[in-house]
Amino acid sequence: MKALITGGAGFIGSHLAEALLEEGHEVYIIDDLSTGSIDNIDHLKERKGFHYVVDTIMNSPLLAELVDKCDIVYHLAAAVGVMLIVESPVRTIETNVKGTEEVLKHANKKKKKVIIASTSEVYGKSSQKLFREDGDLVMGSTTKGRWSYACSKALDEFLGLAYWKEKGLPVVVLRFFNIVGPRQTGRYGMVIPRFVKQALHNKPITVFGDGKQSRCFAHVKDAVDALIKIGVTEDAVGQVINLGNDSEVSIEELAIKVMKLANSKSEIQYISYDDAYEEGFEDMLRRVPDLSKINKLIGYKSKYDLDDIIKDVIKYYREH
């Protein structure tokens, strides 16, 4: 198989490229390095069957050529991270919506399968106990910058599914729930790498809000394994599918766990959302995925727990 990964020098993209190469597939990557890093794919450059281009997916002729060469497109290129979304809302909306539009347009010419990476953020302020794929999306006000990301990714989903329904383009939408592991940067607010860096330097662990908000974290290896399996599962086409882990932890508990596993002398420092992001910032109390659909489709079960994730991130940052 020949696979194109947009955003392939990013955290998830680089792990996906690695795993596909291990299985003997040919891999093409396009990344403009705006949030990805060439360091993430340095070790792959000499591998047989690996090709990379540093450019934007807005380069329509180049993207068309790459899509043409491949059997499947993993569309991971996106503006991600709460901090980036708050600081650069125009870039967020344009990258996500226009980028997905370009990918779908070119893939449709020869009906190449597209796996669209979406996010649990699309559930917005939903109060479901478990987030089901067919549940309502509850967005905040357009005056709150953080919702621009959720809305842009929801539009990506609508567009992808429209191409499937109207034009017969094989599309799968995967909603990621906090995928974590080595190579992820804390630059745009990702919580585990940020906590780990602070803990390793014995600096205060900065918890936003009161720390009672909870999240579920999945290892990138579990996510990549699922991405590859979903890519060859015909029953997944036309579906929206949650991908993550359903073990819940509060952010305060997460901070304590990171400190223990890193043998850190850090202390927890609580920072208001207004100070961390912007005035009137809204956060969700819980985000727990219903994983029954992905379990039914590919027999998905997480192999790695939260301790495994944190230990792997600690090891990565100690080595880098």
- The catalytic residue positions are 149
Name the nearest CA neighbour of 40 among 312, 267, 316, 269. 316
Instruction: Dump the DSSP string for 74-90.
Output: EE-----SHHHHHH-HH
Coil, strand or helix: which one is 145?
coil
What's the rounded Cα separation, in Å, for the pair 94 and 196?
31
Instruction: Please state, as a whole number, how many other Cβ atoms lie within 10 Å of the Cβ of residue 60.
Output: 12
Name the nearest CA neighbour of 98 among 120, 75, 81, 82. 75
CA dihedral 291, 228, 174, 127 (to 10 degrees): 20
Instruction: Please state, as a whole number, how many other Cβ atoms lie within 10 Å of the Cβ of residue 19.
Output: 17
Name the nearest CA neighbour of 306 among 244, 220, 247. 247
What's the rounded Cα separation, in Å, for the pair 17 and 92?
24
Question: Do 25 and 74 contact (CB within 8 A), yes or no?
Answer: no
Question: Do 217 and 245 contact (CB within 8 A), yes or no?
Answer: yes
What's the rounded Cα separation, in Å, for the pair 316 and 262?
12
Residue type, 182: P
Question: Do 146 and 140 contact (CB within 8 A), yes or no?
Answer: yes
The C-alpha angle 265, 184, 294, rounded to 5 degrees, equals 115
